[in-house]
Structure 1
């Protein structure tokens, strides 16, 4: 306990091994007599942070079920997991809201107190021996806060040995009823310990130091009032406060702690059953992500609707361009527009994928819920499957309206390039969102990347005429490979009519070399797009895996 800025959260994060990796810690940290690390703590401890981060689209019961599947030992069957979930909901008083969604800022869900109980319940599923709570009463009214702390008190002093848990909690300034529920107290000020010992003994120490608690005063308020300097400018009060720190420290007996206490328990703690395997984690996360996407199906329907509208607009503007000499002038712009359009649609849909979930996934990974690779693979699979209908629907709608070559082989190759183009742009956006960390920064960087890809896309400047010093940018443009691929697909085998025009070309292949499309074949375009997709997604994974702050 202590005033704001006293170091409560820092101390808690230090004990829980949740500090920034660059933070230097001195001294010894022991758990039951011997040093410990974050990996060991994940197996036997839970951590509930001050802000409640949850999947807003899932219900209370679904949230607990997915957490149980990811954290409980792989030996647990479905019946045992259900029993554990129901047991936790009963202990935390969540049974009456088990079918209610958690909620988002735009959609009402459970209350603040119920969100906090759900966060605690998620940690209790694995029956931890140690539970860290960072200011659990923040944002709650006094009645809800007291009810929540009573629940924690029952957990810490319960008769069931199986559910026994030691709770380490930071708190700012609790009401007297809440203060009376604690067993031991560490009073902090400016990062220093002023008091450490039984909660009941704190008042005696203050009394011997000359600062007895007045009648009808909240003991917690009195403890902080004495050691917190007044900002009112009263000199006598300030002198009294500054002198109080030393008196309180001197007024308590020396603290003797056996650092080897509990060494015999350590052997039992190391015997922890393994969690679900990597494929099992991927499967669970796939189901969870699909369920979240289903709850957001309006976004997918809107995306499909605007795809149809755009395809109809493009198809009617370039309606049945024909095979005359003038069609060549119209054919290349519409092919280029198709490549650009599908890239932008795909990229904008996923640009906020990782930034929005970064804080939640980092917290879940810190708790040992799943591996970063399992999360990334499941997320990529779902995003790909959700995005796949867009280029397919666009190709079916626009291809025959424009009047491109009506051959099955040409159509399916066009469809393949539209899918690859959408996936390449999506991969670029995923890479940017994974590296930029925040949505604002991702949205700022993505337009530049898309514009560069469009500039070197092969339409405004043919690859043959691109400056040598910009050859590397030309090679990184996914639009270029898509545009050249669909252009080669369309011009190869295209028979043109002369329309009473002199010096006319009757074969579309005659335009391939003048446009600079002859330096790379269709197979090379497909291979380049596949390589682009793979490399971007590998970089995106590295960003998700290693960028944690």
Structure 2
């Protein structure tokens, strides 16, 4: 992977076939693949440049770093806060860094694999790993396995792998315990860290990147996690590269190699056992009975003493001129030279493996649907709270607008009730933001690990939500519609349910779009609320379409989904209904109707007279349903585009 980029892509793209792959070539590739292992990962010339916040000039936060880690080894990236550990880890894992410029050559077995092949062989564990709180520990590992290439394994073998990981990570007793939601307590923070690592190991990666895997763990738990990683690396020829901050002595000694950074520059790379002699040769002897990791971090820290800068420069120059640095450069060059001859063939076999092992799109959608279904009925934040809110709203609406009569005094209250029911049902969809944010964080992690993409998420999210939204529409309508005494026919009732259902589908699509674009709870909440406020203002109730000014009418009104809901609910209520004029019984028999229609001589008001002040006419329901379906699809497609472009 040789590149000089603006952080768009640091992996070579997959080679394009120039013709059909013949059977013999595929057979040879597959046979070679059985014996193909990742022997090493190497990198050289890794330089990351950002814009300095103060000077606004380019500034290198990682500068000309190189290294090599062999299969079966576990390497620690260490250095003081802000030295570039996480940035370097992201470059090695081909993840976005947000940098102005990234220059790097990252090779596997001496060659640059395609993006698909690299994602197939590697996994990344975030410092704050996203886990679904409504799943148990065992289910988390099971779904991770089903989404990865290990989904092709027999069920018995997958279960055996899960049981082995649970035992190795000390999670057997917590296997059937929930990860934990804001409402239901689950496992501890340290146990979550172990589950995060285990959920990546279950997919059988060849290279594992970890960002602060021991963060939040005590020294005993940290040692257990790193010790297990070391054992797995040895047994399975796994390469483990982990950024780590201030490990205990026992944990530090478990690592095979150490890359020590300061201000983005290499101060040491090599076996942990040799770091002492290296600094002894510089006259900086490691004290006895002192944690060597703490000593090294204090040695390369630049935050608290300006006088250290010259000494740090001297130490960095001493490393660059050392025999071990020369040997490292030679080893990296040797690996690259050996890999050049096999570049095309190795990349082809790895690409075939990635394509053939990956689950199909329908299989991924079904797995995501299954996972979302488990979450939907266990986590009340997803749909339970909304069902309670909508039920309460229906009871309130039905009892406030209680048994309205078929006379003109009820016309304005009925109109208000139609607006209130449709608009506030739509507005309350904002409660879906927290649940989708959890799905979004999970998606980002799994997308970056190459498990699935935006298409699978958008389809599964829509499919899992649709039945629940239909239930909400029926429950709300069954309570409020008959209590308020809207047009008492079955046809009118089910038409109301249809429009409320479409209203909720559009509202949830808006939530998914906004939250995908702005995945911060407070921001998403504010923007969705603002959008709903805008839709309420221009849907035709506050200001009739016949009066609404030209700007809002043509810029917002016609693609406001609440406009079509309100209009068709009004038509549903008033088009075929007649209302009595309330003044018919006054002395003298004079009839005073608030709306003058052709039934005025009978002291009645035809409902169409109410619709005329809004410019509404029946007969457009089919067209409006089509427009609503287009708006619903538009929100989902827009969300898909946003998620597709997310790095």
Task: Summarize the Cα distance change of 1:5–1:334 in structure 2 as closer, same or farther, 3 Å threshold.
Answer: closer
Separation in structure 1 between the aligned mates of residue 214 and residue 252 of structure 2, nearest angstrom = 12
Deviations 1:112-155 (A, max 9, x none): 33222222211222222221222222221111111222112212
- Is the alpha carbon distance of 1:183 and 1:400 closer, same or farther for their aligned partners in structure 2, counting shifts above 3 Å? closer
Q: Number of aligned pairs?
A: 541
Correspondence for 2:606 among 492, 497, 507? 507
C-alpha displacement at 1:379, in angstroms?
Answer: 1.4
The alignment status of 1:491 with 2:564, answered yes or no, reads: no
- Counterpart CA distance in 2 for 1:16 and 1:298 is 34
Counterpart selection for 2:516 from 419, 427, 434: 434
Give the CA deviation at 1:335. Answer: 2.0
User: In the alignment, what sits opposite 2:238?
Assistant: 165
**1:537 aligned residue:** 636
Q: Shift of residue 520 of structure 1? A: 7.2
Shift of 1:243: 3.9
1:249 Cα shift?
A: 4.1
Tell me the equivalent position of 1:13: 90
Query: 1:382 is matched with which residue: 449, 459, 464?
Result: 464
Give the corresponding residue for 2:304.
231
Question: C-alpha distance in 2, partners of 1:316/1:126?
Answer: 55
Alignment counterpart, residue 427 of structure 2, candidates 344, 360, 367: 344
Distance (Å, rounded) in 2 between the aligned partners of 1:508 and 1:366 = 57
Q: TM-score, normalised by structure 2?
A: 0.78
1:277 is matched with 360
**Residue 361 of structure 1, aligned match among 406, 421, 443:** 443
Q: Could you tell me how far apart the structure 1 residues matched to 2:476 and 2:371 are? A: 28
Map of 2:285 onto structure 1 = 212
1:30–1:490 Cα change, 3 Å: same
Shift of the alpha carbon at 1:15? 0.9
1:57 to 106, 110, 134: 134
- Kept in 2, the 8 Å contact 1:48–1:132? The answer is yes
Question: Which of 391, 397, 401 is equivalent to 2:473?
Answer: 391
Find the counterpart in structure 1 of residue 372 from structure 2: 289
Cα distance in 1 for residues equivalent to 2:492 and 2:189: 57
Q: Is the 8 A contact 1:463 1:517 kept in 2?
A: no
Q: Which residue of 2 aligns with 1:470?
A: 552
DSSP-derived class of the 1:368 partner = coil
Aligned equivalents of 1:407, 1:489: Cα separation in 2: 10
RMSD, aligned CA = 2.6
Give the distance between the partners of 1:313 and 1:241, measured in 2 at CA.
70
Confirm or deny: 8 A CA contact 1:209 1:251 kept in the other structure.
no
- State the secondary structure of the residue aligned to 1:25: strand
CA distance in 1, matches of 2:318, 2:281: 9
1:420 aligns with 2:502: yes
Counterpart residue number, 1:153: 230
- Structure 1 residues 237-252: aligned runs within 5 Å: 243-252=314-323
Gapped regions of structure 2 (runs ≥ 5): 1-77, 585-590, 593-599
Deviation per CA, 1:264-305, whole angstroms, max 9, x where unpaired? Answer: 694764552422211111111111111111112376444334
Residue 405 of structure 1 corresponds to 487
User: Is the 8 Å Cα contact of residues 268 and 275 (structure 2) preserved in structure 1?
Assistant: yes
Match of 2:295 among 218, 222, 225: 222
Structure 1 position 358, deviation (Å): 2.6
Native 8 Å contact 1:195 1:248 kept in 2: yes
Is the contact between residue 484 and residue 525 of structure 1 (CA under 8 Å) also seen in structure 2? no
Deviations 1:369-409 (A, max 9, x none): 22221112111222222222222111111222222222221
What is the TM-score with the length of structure 1 in the denominator?
Answer: 0.91
Deviation at 1:100, TM superposition (A): 1.4
> Does the 8 A contact of 2:538 with 2:552 survive in 1?
no
1:309 partner SS: helix
